[in-house]
Structure 1
Amino acid sequence: MKGIYLCPTPIGNLDDITLRTLKTLENIDIIACEDTRVSKALLDHYNIKKPLISYHKFNYMTKIPEIINDLEDGKTYAFISDAGMPGISDPGTEILSACIERDIPINVLPGPSAFVVGLVLSGLSTDRFTFIGFLPEKSNQRIKELEELKTKKETLIFYEAPHRIHKFLKDLYQVFGNRKVSISREISKYYEETIRKDLVDLVEDEDLVKAKGEFVVVVEGYQEKEIEVNIEAELQKLLDRGLSKKDAVKEVSKNFNIKKNLVYEKSLDL
């Protein structure tokens, strides 16, 4: 064995680990992990005793030189995240870049990844997709990035935390309008749940999504509407529901991907 080994860990169920990963963790010298407490629980479950060092987004810049020195001295490292594939939504790429610069062997083991499971569970197109991961915490920055993504035709995959999930869905609806969405949480755990709904339903009824667990949000790609839309009739439906003319214009523009100016012109006749 030589160099560094990226070892995927279970995203929920502890049985979701490969024999090769277990064998690697048993034979390397040191394990670098995000949270030593989380990793120790996994290693104890499989009776693996190895030195652990903490490596995460807050300390990786100071840890990389230490790890590189050990690797160049002939020691072997495993890099594991709290769950899933290392290098996805964690600072794994930084240590890999440092290894590549020094010609240190890199070994990536196959294994669990939450976004792949969430994509397949969604039932949406898997022919082409883009993994986005976490968007910025601040709403205005999040909206700015969503604006850049709204016309992408491939399926889009996001990660989101429980305390932001409802705000994220509202921002998503504000920018994307109504689309098919799949939300998976607690993947491979006892309370695993996948909700497949139109985005407008999730925004109007927050109780549909329990703000617990980590979320994989899969969103239908942009589709140009080829059907003819009776703009006046759609506006009238919303006005009858009690929306103001301004809000009705906004909703029709979103739901049917029609320029707001055109919808506004039609509203003047009502």
Structure 2
Amino acid sequence: MPTTPDPLTRTIETLHGPGFPAALVALLSSWVPFDCAIVLGHGRRPVYLYDNLPDRRELLFERYLTGAHQQDPFLLALRQGLGAGVWTLAEVSRLTGREPDYTHHFYPATGWREELGLLLPVRPDFTLLISLGRLAGRRPVTGAELTKLRRHFALVHALCRQQWGATPPPLPAAPEGEPEMERVRQAVTRTLARLGGPHLTRREREVATLILHGCDTVTIAERLGIGPGTVKNHRKHLYAKLGLASRADLFTLFLGQLITTP
């Protein structure tokens, strides 16, 4: 009778595949238990790679990835030169201070009581942030647990460099099974309807949708009955609101939301 591989073996077996982030999180949780995990890559902007959030996932896609990440203490500390390692929220907050909007509005909505962040540079232009969270009601992380994660950090870093060090990050794994075309169409429609969450106006979301459909400025203007200059203004505003720099960034954000649409 075949035996179930241990978490480390499973993680190694999934190297260079879309199942690696989930296996890596399972490995981390086998050392120190956590309720939630989010794996993001950071270059010019966050790239969604994996999460196992049990609920409130709209906060990740409609608030964090579309603006709140700019106030994340872990990313602020990374920009200020914080090096690779396992860091507590308290440690990075002492370095960066606490942004009032993030601390008092966004973070309490997540339900997380405590957070650890693993900063893992894998390329000169690409660093992973693995956020591990415990929900309210759970006991705090102990010093022994923190020491255990830090003792295994070099192994985790080596695995992540193998996975993401040489090539762009693979797309997040899609749900198992081959969905029918109607299900795909419905998922695309739902994702477009919630793209950008509460940050975008109706017109900005219409412009974003047409950009994702491959339309140029003139075509968008014709379809919406507005001038090309107005289209450019809407595009400039929606990019600024979502922290985007290009059409490619918009596609990356859309794909992350699409793959995780229920």
Normalised-by-shorter TM-score class: under 0.3
Query: Which structure has more helix as a fraction of its residues?
Result: 2
State the TM-score, normalizing by the size of structure 1: 0.22
Greater RCO, 1 or 2 (C-alpha within 8 Å, sep 6+): 2
State the TM-score, normalizing by the size of structure 2: 0.23
